[in-house]
Amino acid sequence: MSDPHSSSSAIAAAFEGQKSGVADRRQRFGLTERRHALSKLADAVRQNEAAIVAALAEDFGKPETEVILTEILPLLQEIKHTSRNLGRWMRAKHVTPTLATFGTSARIRSEARGVCLIIAPWNYPFILALGPLVSCLAAGNSAIVKPSEMTPATSSLIARILEETFSPDLVTVIEGGVDASEALLELPFDHIFFTGSPAVGKIVMRAAAKVLASVTLELGGKSPTIIGPQADLERAADWVMFGKFSNAGQTCIAPDHLFVHDTVKERFLGKLRDRIAKAYGDGSGSGDLARIVNARHASRLSGLIDDALAKGAHLIRDGGRDGTRMGPTLIESITPEMAIDGEEIFGPVLPIIPYDDLDDVIARINSRPKPLALYVFDGDRGRVDRVISSTSSGSVGVNLTLIQFSHSKLPFGGVNTSGIGAAHGHHGFRAFSHERAILTNRFSPLPMIFPPYSKRVRQLIGAIKRIVG
């Protein structure tokens, strides 16, 4: 189903087509079939690499190398890791009995939830649509995938690839805008995987609550970055440049603002300016820098800059603005009344905030919603551990940025306003699975204490109470 004007009735029909096959999939969609589905997906991605690069270039000028590094390779790695470990993940896990369940055998069986909805965002429109699909299929589910309408070329390509690769009773694509999303959220899915803003995440959660569907919400937030007094400034400049300005800063785990210790501020900023110039040149026209996704978001970013400047901030580096082209921009003297201080930036604008007391930084981080990521650059392990133990975030990067996302053995997810649940690898498999408890009686002695509660039964219960309690 790839018609961008899909009607509510067509969407409902697509859902019913998958729902009617749930029982059959539980019987026939085993390890071999799941691995085969993952292999087909990997083959489709490889065969369409040029088309993926072209679609992302059309949607927001993403450089080919960046597409390969951030959209294609991590997805292929996720498929490979999942397929290799899937047999072990699917295997029932036997657990030892407790005193109360002596004489029984217990196991936990991972089972498919059923029909799942994957709502993907626009910023990494390919991997954030198909990455969750890997976990969904690995867990034995069917999926309806809703790509973002804000990246139409990629959305259309995803629809074509998945329609050519899978039957609609296993994977269906619904294109369209808000109306399509609203129609989908009216349906009783067994699990919803949403990636996007906290505001829309609340809408998704309210919809899921109507049918008590489980959810995975990958949201965002203002991810802070701390440059400590003993940081390797060359390395920090490299990683901040990469983490903040890849995808033109349109990354949910990009550094949102930078706390720099007073003693290293000027030296670090010099290195960061040099590293930005080396990577992207002087202005906004670099072929290695993606565009802002559309004019509305470019206007929003310009508004954040203009509002800050009007209220006393000043530019350390002016990246320039030309339509949806915006170069790496550094800004300082940020104050709480500026919109840029409270709103997730999601673009190539980086506020620089000097500090001399780490406790003040930690207090500021803890006074705000919990971020999806937090980054610390420092050679002092004690200070790094202090930041980690004193704050909360979805993930932490120490002396690096972004690449925790691509570690298949780590959970990727937020906490509270930055997300619910986790994705990737075994964690993604578990998100799309129901862990079913199965307890089998072998020679349980519990009938000895069933009613009637005679004197002997009460004595036995008393003895058990003394042992257990």
* pLDDT of 2 over the 50 cut: no
Backbone angles phi, psi at 118, to 5 degrees: -115, 115
Give which of 91, 374, 89 is closest to 223, Cα–Cα. 374
- pLDDT of res. 469: 72
Superfamily name with CATH number, domain 224-409: Aldehyde Dehydrogenase; Chain A, domain 2 (3.40.309.10)
Q: Is 282 in contact with 250 (CB distance < 8 Å)?
A: no
Q: Among this protein's residues, is 116 annotated catalytic?
A: no
- Name the CATH code of domain 8-219+419-436 (choices 3.40.605.10, 3.10.100.10, 3.40.50.980, 3.30.70.20): 3.40.605.10
Instruction: Give tens-digit pLDDT for 43-87.
Output: 999 999 999 999 999 999 999 999 999 999 999 999 999 999 999
Distance, CA of 457 to CA of 443 (rounded, Å): 18
Instruction: Give tens-digit pLDDT for 312-371.
Output: 999 999 999 999 999 999 999 999 999 999 999 999 999 999 999 999 999 999 999 999
Instruction: Give tens-digit pLDDT for 129-158.
Output: 999 999 999 999 999 999 999 999 999 999
* pLDDT of 1 over the 50 cut: no
Among 71, 78, 218, 332, which one carries the catalytic annotation? 218
Same fold for the pair 8-219+419-436 and 224-409: no
Give which of 311, 321, 315 is closest to 342, Cα–Cα. 311
Among 175, 252, 332, 344, which one carries the catalytic annotation? 252
Domain ranges (residues) in the chain: 8-219+419-436, 224-409
- pLDDT of res. 131: 98
Indicate the pLDDT class of residue 172, thresholds 50, 70 and 90.
Answer: very high
144 forms beta bridges with: 117, 172
- Average pLDDT score over the chain: 95
Host H or E run for residue 308: helix 295-310
What percent of the chain has pLDDT above 90? 94
CA angle 259, 349, 199 (to 5 degrees): 90
Kindly give the pairing relationship between strand 314-317 and strand 329-332: antiparallel
Q: Among this protein's residues, is 136 annotated catalytic?
A: no
The full DSSP string for 194-256 is EES-HHHHHHHHHHHHHHT-EEEEE-----EEEE-TT--HHHHHHHHHHHHHGGGG--TTS--
Assigned token pair, 251: 């990354």
- pLDDT of res. 44: 98
How many other C-beta atoms lie within 10 A of the C-beta of residue 238?
Answer: 18
User: CA 394, 396, 400, 404 torsion: positive or negative?
Assistant: negative
Residues 6+ apart with CB under 8 A from 43: none
Indicate the pLDDT class of residue 467, thresholds 50, 70 and 90.
Answer: confident
- DSSP 3-state of 139: coil
Instruction: Give tens-digit pLDDT for 243-267.
Output: 999 999 999 999 999 999 999 999 9
- What is this structure's pTM? 0.95
Distance, CA of 169 to CA of 163 (rounded, Å): 11
